[in-house]
Amino acid sequence: MSMDIAVVGVGLHPFGRFPGVSAIEMGAIAIRRALADAGAEWRDVQAAFAGSYEVDNPDAVVALMGLTGIPFTNVYNGCATAASSLTMAANSIRLGDADLAIAIGMDKHLPGAFSADPRLYACPSWYGEVGQFVTTKFFGMKINKYMHDHGISHSTLAKVASKGYRNGVLNPNAFRRKPLSEEEILASPMLNYPLTQYMFCSPDEGAAAVVLCRADQAHRYTDTPVYLRATTVRTRRLGAFEVHSPWLPIEETVGPTVDASRAAYEMAGIGPNDVDVIQLQDTDAGAEIIHLAENGFCADGEQEQLVADGALEIGGSLPTNTDGGLIANGEPIGASGLRQVHEVVLQLRGQCGDRQVPGNPKVGYTQLYGAPGTAGVSILSV
């Protein structure tokens, strides 16, 4: 790979509900925090990439930051939006267009499941009229089939969700900060079998920003650079079992997460056994379980024992979603993946306090997945 890229600053506006605060304002707060973390000024930033679902032109944040005339690209790529803005910011440095670049994400969603006109997803109108254009239903079907094929129990789903809320208690930036027991999670209303209400994340509000630079200049900004070893985005291939599919072919293949993951490991020269802290897309508790295998951290079905043994806990062998993941943070789409990078960077610097993974973690991993079948992965190391 050409030029090494360093993360020298991360910043977050907390995720949750913030009446009266606009997405752009949250974006500006995240940017200021990331720049302060890097010891840099907005006028030092030479290229910016900002992701949002709700804001057409997140580059309008320059009105709050400074009208410096830099190339500023707005990005939207579904739930993998942040992986795309991060990839583009890194590439702008690799191409020599910028020495210091920033990836930004901001969103402010209404409560409730995401919805849209199915025709915008190349689906027929009737697919929405009859009530099948529903993302949560896909996640229900996928984990239900996975549980049947690989022997995962309902109790394991609840344990994974409970771990998410428990980690959220330790994260002052999280949306959900109240612990929920396995029993409470199982007893909450069934939304899409086998997934209950408390097994799902919620769309919410928040912002995040990540400052990147050429690795050979990182010392100008920080004594503790974290290197972006790989960042990839992939879309579904024919035969993958994907959301918003009125039909599927008989032939079957792996999902885009597997493709993005394999490409990222190859790019980084790092394998799943080297990873010390993991952030996965947990739109629901089932997704976290499936994504553990899709990203190479275990074989299909091993999650049942791993969860029972506490492997996914902060002190476990596969610490996963240490900041509470989407379950506790919710999902402001444009910012979600940069929140994952924020957490990994803090973990690798040893700055996570009560939720710090022990043993000086050196390699972190993030993964996003969403409609209509797009995945993004990044690998970071000290």
Partner 1 sequence: MARVPVAEGIFTWPSDDPQLVGSRCTDCGIVTFPSQQSCPRCASMSMAEHLLARRGRLWAFTTQSFPPPSPPYSGPSGKEFVPFGVGYVELGDVKVETHLTVADPDALQHGMEMELVVVPFRTDDDGNEVVTFAFRPC
Compute φ and ψ for 317, nearest 5 degrees. Answer: -80, -20
Q: Is the distance from CB of 332 to CB of 109 less than 8 angstroms?
A: yes
Q: Which is nearer to partner 1, 13 or 108 (CB)?
A: 108
Q: Which is nearer to partner 1, 97 or 129 (CB)?
A: 129
Q: Which is nearer to partner 1, 49 or 369 (CB)?
A: 369
Which run of H or E residues covers position 73? strand 72-75
Tell me the closest approach of the beta carbon of residue 142 to partner 1, in angstroms: 7
In the block, which residue shows the tokens 């995945």? 375
Which run of H or E residues covers position 31? helix 23-38
Q: Is the distance from CB of 41 to CB of 9 less than 8 angstroms?
A: no
Q: How far apart are the first and last CA of the chain?
A: 17
Tell me the closest approach of the beta carbon of residue 114 to partner 1, in angstroms: 8
Tell me the closest approach of the beta carbon of residue 54 to partner 1, in angstroms: 16
Q: Which residues contact 104 (CB under 8 A, 6 or more apart)?
A: 27, 30, 31, 48, 49, 50, 51, 58, 61, 85, 207, 208, 209, 338
Q: Which is nearer to partner 1, 79 or 106 (CB)?
A: 79
Tell me the closest approach of the beta carbon of residue 296 to partner 1, in angstroms: 24
Tell me the closest approach of the beta carbon of residue 251 to partner 1, in angstroms: 8
Q: Which is nearer to partner 1, 67 or 130 (CB)?
A: 130
Tell me the closest approach of the beta carbon of residue 125 to partner 1, in angstroms: 7
Please tell me the distance from the alpha carbon of residue 103 to that of residue 95, in angstroms, as a whole number.
16
Give me the residues that bind partner 1 (CB under 8 A), please: 112-118, 124-126, 128-134, 137, 140-142, 144-145, 148, 189-195, 238, 241, 245-250
Helix (H, G, I), strand (E, B) or coil at 81: helix
Q: Which residues contact 109 (CB under 8 A, 6 or more apart)?
A: 53, 54, 203, 204, 205, 331, 332, 333
Q: Which is nearer to partner 1, 249 or 358 (CB)?
A: 249
Compute φ and ψ for 38, nearest 5 degrees. Answer: -85, -10
Q: Which is nearer to partner 1, 192 or 367 (CB)?
A: 192
List, in sequence order, every residue forming a beta bridge with 278; answer none if it has no partner.
320, 365
Tell me the closest approach of the beta carbon of residue 195 to partner 1, in angstroms: 8
